[in-house]
Structure 1
Amino acid sequence: MGRKQAFTKSELLDQTKKVLLEYGYEGFQLKLLSKSLVGARSTIYQYYANKEEIVAACMKRSMENVLQKASAIDETDCMNALQHLLDVYLEEASFHQLLGYAHKINKANSAAAANDLEFVEQAHEILKDQLERLFARAQEEGHLNTSIPLPAIIGVFFNLIETPNMMNIPTLQWSKLLYQMWLGGVGRR
């Protein structure tokens, strides 16, 4: 009898993300997840005790990735930094969908899930502070219209992430195009 192949924690979280994005939180089941993995379903329980833990761990891992990329951006030129942040957010566009499931996780079912969600919340604040700081600097330096309130500018910037790429151009090229439209508008003056 051959040994059962086991999957790594990383492979498990990769598949968790795929299943979550395809089926949503309500449709996510460990049985469904195990069908997409090579190895025994019991291996999942070697890493995580329940659905809440694995989904929260997936969110934390995604947040760590975004936070690492955003923290590495050189903020010397605030407008260049904003362009690079848009690159990061577009590369990780599915991240926002994952974050939408955070409120559905019952933290009472797992201390580990509660801890992971606390990390996600704190990291989200760090990212929010970074954006607000860069946008405020951009207004102070005269790059952005000061008569438009910062929350409106930031809101439109975030909506760029949800813009469908109907031309199917590479993400970085798409990011640059969206940034140009956001900054300059599309109307003739």
Structure 2
Amino acid sequence: MGRKQAFTKSELLDKTKQLLLKHGYEGFQLKLLSGNLVGARSTIYQYYANKDEIVAACMKRVMENVLRKASAIDQTDCMIALQNLLTVYLEEADFHQLLGDAHKINTANSVAAANDLEFIEQAHITLKNQLELLFVRAQEEGNLNTSIPLPVIIGVYFNLIDTPNMMNLPTPEWSKLLYQMWLGGAGRD
């Protein structure tokens, strides 16, 4: 009878995310990961073949979570939906920057990593489409200044995600402040 695994796939991905946020893609190594998990390093290979598969799976998991939360938002009032989406994005703001490293993942030797990155790309398209529809509705309903081109309004909105929370406010409160600031600059007088 085999020895019970000391960590689950979910725990492995949780620790991967934590270490990626702390050390970045380049600083993340399987030796570092195994040193932060209770159990044999070989257990990692029961789930993933290499670093790139683990990182891609971690990124996919984050995107699945963002997609799930974004799709659950009531879009009846487009302005409230935009504020709620900002909160969803801010919850993963740190990881958002790491998604920029997705191009560093070697997919040549891993179908799993390639599939996960394809999922991430499709998720970005889905989220982009959701936002564009909300922004168009907001402008059509007179909630946004039509003299400002929509790509500018959207670009500034997205840059809110990277705004440092120097006040260390809880995410919902921080999101509300950023949204108010954004809308004050893009809203109608």
- TM-score tier by shorter-chain length is over 0.9
Greater shift in the superposed pair: 167-176 or 67-76: 167-176
Cα deviation digits, residues 86-144 of structure 1 (max 9, x gap)? 11011111231221111001110200000010011001100000011100110111000
- 1:117-132 correspondence runs (5 A): 117-132=117-132
1:42 counterpart residue number: 42
Q: Is the 8 A contact 1:4 1:39 kept in 2?
A: no
2:134 & 2:78 partners in 1: Cα distance?
Answer: 5
1:73 counterpart residue number: 73
Matched, 1:15 2:15: yes
Where does the alignment leave 5 or more consecutive residues of structure 2 unmatched? none
Alpha-carbon distance, 1:151 to partner: 1.1
1:178 & 1:64 partners in 2: Cα distance?
Answer: 24
Amino acid at match of 1:168: N
Structure 1 stretches of at least 4 aligned residues deviating more than 2 Å after TM superposition:
none
1:115 & 1:165 partners in 2: Cα distance?
Answer: 34
Number of aligned pairs?
Answer: 185
Greater shift in the superposed pair: 40-49 or 92-101: 92-101
TM-score normalised by the chain length of structure 1: 0.94
Where does the alignment leave 5 or more consecutive residues of structure 1 unmatched? none
Does the C-alpha gap of structure 1 residues 39 and 4 become closer, same or farther in structure 2, counting only changes over 3 Å?
farther
- 1:89-128 correspondence runs (5 A): 89-128=89-128
Cα deviation digits, residues 155-188 of structure 1 (max 9, x gap)? 10011111111111111011111111110139xx
RMSD (Å) for aligned C-alpha atoms = 1.5
Q: Secondary structure at the match of 2:144?
A: coil
TM-score normalised by the chain length of structure 2: 0.94
1:84 & 1:95 partners in 2: Cα distance?
Answer: 18
Greater shift in the superposed pair: 15-24 or 4-13: 4-13
1:163 counterpart residue number: 163
